[in-house]
Amino acid sequence: MPIYLDYNATTPPLPDVIDIVTRTMRDSWGNASSIHARGQHAKQILDAARQAVAALLACAPVEVVFTSGGTEADGLAVRGTLDALAASGRRHVVTTAIEHEAVLQTVRALGKRGVPHTIVPVDSQGRVNPADVTDALRDDTALVSVMLANNEIGTLQPIAEIAAAAHARGALVHTDAVQAAGKVALDVRALGVDLLSISAHKFGGPTGVGALYVRRGTPMHAQQTGGRQERSRRAGTEDVAGLAGLGVAAEHARVAALDTTHVRALRDALELGILTRVVGTHVNGAGGARVANTANIGFAGVDAEALLIALDLEGIAVSTGAACSSGTLEPSHVLRAMGLAAHDTQNALRFSLGAATTEAEIARVVDVVDAAVSRLRRVAESRSRNGKGRCG
Ligand SMILES: Cc1ncc(COP(=O)(O)O)c(C=O)c1O
């Protein structure tokens, strides 16, 4: 049986999600902007999904803007607020070195167009120090964007503290909570943020749908212009079926976040198993608060891609860092930002567990990892004895 430990890349859609998406496509395919009964029925489905997302985030339904996923929500948060604040003279953005590319590349692209920005570092455990964010704030800071949970190592950031500091200087605050939804309880007021991104496929929903929480009164310009959908904050006919799936997944995520004991116990067992059985291993980012499902483990002297392929051949799906940069030999920008030595940024695998992960699967993964690492190290040793490099 294949073992899937790549839940941070995407999650299997929940059976209830598949049911409602299928049913909605078949029976409720109206355009939610149409005035006739079919359109109004679709609108009711959107309203229910919006309620469910609002319940997940502890916000009002009008504060939820549906998007095509986490990337769009992040981009809308950053570009939308900067556009809205441009006339006020606030243009500077503060973000961190371990953000997802959806934020980092957006900030870099804006930087090329002259938008000033500061990228705050993290410590060796991947934690952002709120004092560093405070130091980066300027009179013209428009937005501070710091992720809640990191996708590669799972570290949780002190968002409430960061938000308080940013607000004291008049800046808006966005958090990318794409990897936090369903893993920690979300409450936008307790976090103190103005904007927060989520993505359905990270918590049992369909791909291609997500949401941005926009606190009532937050200045934000639409980036996708056209019709008046989403109260003119995001134009385009809504994906009613996909959003119905987001709503159902949000209900599950709200409940799942309340008790992560099972997944945490399995993650801890995986780390303990690998650390005790396989020499030369360490957990990246274990020193800080983390989401319960993520283990990023370094294997000294082992090429992470080779180990990933060895595990894949045994039916075990894991990842090297961020999914969007896998397939390349680029070292992880997150591990680099944590100050890991160059070779340690290329020997780490991310194991991300989910609700369906079992004890038996973890036991098998530890066995397979142990055997695969021994084999790869033997090969590397005999190559170096024979004077052959990696490609020789
Ligand atoms: C932290 C984080 N932000 C944003 C995204 C992008 O979300 P989406 O895949 O919905 O575009 C991801 C996906 O990997 C993520 O992990």
Four-CA torsion 168, 153, 345, 271, nearest 10 degrees: 150
pLDDT of 43 above 80: yes
pLDDT of 112 above 70: yes
The minimum-distance atom of ligand 1 relative to the CA of 207 is: 10
Of residues 251, 242, 247, the one with CA closest to residue 28:
242
To test ligand 1's pocket by mutation, which of 202, 246, 320, 332 has the most ligand atoms within 8 angstroms of CB?
A: 202
In short, whether 188's Cβ falls inside 6 Å of ligand 1 is no
Averaged pLDDT for residues 186-209: 98
In short, whether 178's Cβ falls inside 6 Å of ligand 1 is yes
For residue 328, name the pLDDT band (cuts at 50, 70, 90): low
> According to the model, what pLDDT value does residue 388 have?
61
Averaged pLDDT for residues 136-152: 98
% pLDDT > 90, the chain: 91
> According to the model, what pLDDT value does residue 97 have?
98
For residue 309, name the pLDDT band (cuts at 50, 70, 90): very high
Q: What are phi and psi of 41, to 5 degrees?
A: -65, -45
Which tokens is 173 given? 């605050």
> According to the model, what pLDDT value does residue 365 have?
98
Name the CATH topology of 3-9+259-385: Aspartate Aminotransferase, domain 1 (3.90.1150)
pLDDT of 321 above 80: no
pLDDT of 269 above 80: yes
pLDDT of 322 above 70: no
Determine the residue type at 272: L
Q: What is the pLDDT of residues 338-361, one digit of tens each?
A: 999 888 889 999 999 999 999 999
pLDDT of 113 above 60: yes
Could you say which of 324, 355, 368, 380 is catalytic? 324
pLDDT of 176 above 80: yes
Distance from the CA of 95 to the center of ligand 1, in angstroms? 16
> According to the model, what pLDDT value does residue 331 have?
86
Distance from the CA of 309 to the center of ligand 1, in angstroms? 23
For residue 50, name the pLDDT band (cuts at 50, 70, 90): very high
Q: How far apart are the first and last CA of the chain?
A: 35
Sheet of 281-283, strands arranged across: 281-283, 294-299, 348-352
- CB-based contacts of 159, cutoff 8 Å, min separation 6: 146, 148, 173, 175, 191, 192, 193
In short, whether 311's Cβ falls inside 6 Å of ligand 1 is no
Q: Confirm if 322 and 152 have CB atoms less than 8 A apart.
A: yes
> According to the model, what pLDDT value does residue 386 have?
83
The minimum-distance atom of ligand 1 relative to the CA of 208 is: 10
Lowest mean pLDDT segment, chosen from 28-37, 134-143, 279-288, 329-338? 329-338
Q: What is the pLDDT of residues 278-303, one digit of tens each?
A: 999 999 999 989 999 999 999 999 99
pLDDT of 89 above 90: yes
Q: How many CA atoms lie within 13 Å of 125's alpha carbon, on the beta-carbon side? A: 10
Q: Is 195 helix (H, G, I), strand (E, B) or coil?
A: strand
Q: What are phi and psi of 156, to 5 degrees?
A: -100, 140
pLDDT of 325 above 90: no
For residue 391, name the pLDDT band (cuts at 50, 70, 90): very low
In short, whether 183's Cβ falls inside 6 Å of ligand 1 is no
pLDDT of 324 above 70: no
DSSP state at residue 224 = S
To test ligand 1's pocket by mutation, which of 10, 100, 198, 203 has the most ligand atoms within 8 angstroms of CB?
A: 100
What are the residue ranges spanned by the domains of the chain? 3-9+259-385
Q: Confirm if 40 and 29 have CB atoms less than 8 A apart.
A: no
How many residues are there in the chain?
392
pTM of the full structure: 0.96
Averaged pLDDT for residues 133-137: 98
> Strand runs (DSSP E) across the chain, as ranges?
3-4, 64-67, 92-96, 117-120, 141-145, 172-176, 195-199, 210-214, 281-283, 294-299, 316-317, 348-352
Q: How many CA atoms lie within 13 Å of 69's alpha carbon, on the beta-carbon side? A: 10
> According to the model, what pLDDT value does residue 383 have?
84
The minimum-distance atom of ligand 1 relative to the CA of 147 is: 1
Averaged pLDDT for residues 27-51: 98
DSSP letters spanning 284-345: TTTTS-B-TTEEEEEETT--HHHHHHHHHHTTEE-BSS-GGGTTS-PPPHHHHHTT--GGGG
For residue 389, name the pLDDT band (cuts at 50, 70, 90): low
Q: Would you call 59 a catalytic residue per the annotation?
A: no
Average pLDDT over all residues of the chain = 95
Distance from the CA of 284 to the center of ligand 1, in angstroms? 20
- The CA distances from residue 21 to 10, 43, 210, in Å, are 17, 15, 15
Residue recorded with tokens 């606190």: 215
pLDDT of 254 above 90: yes
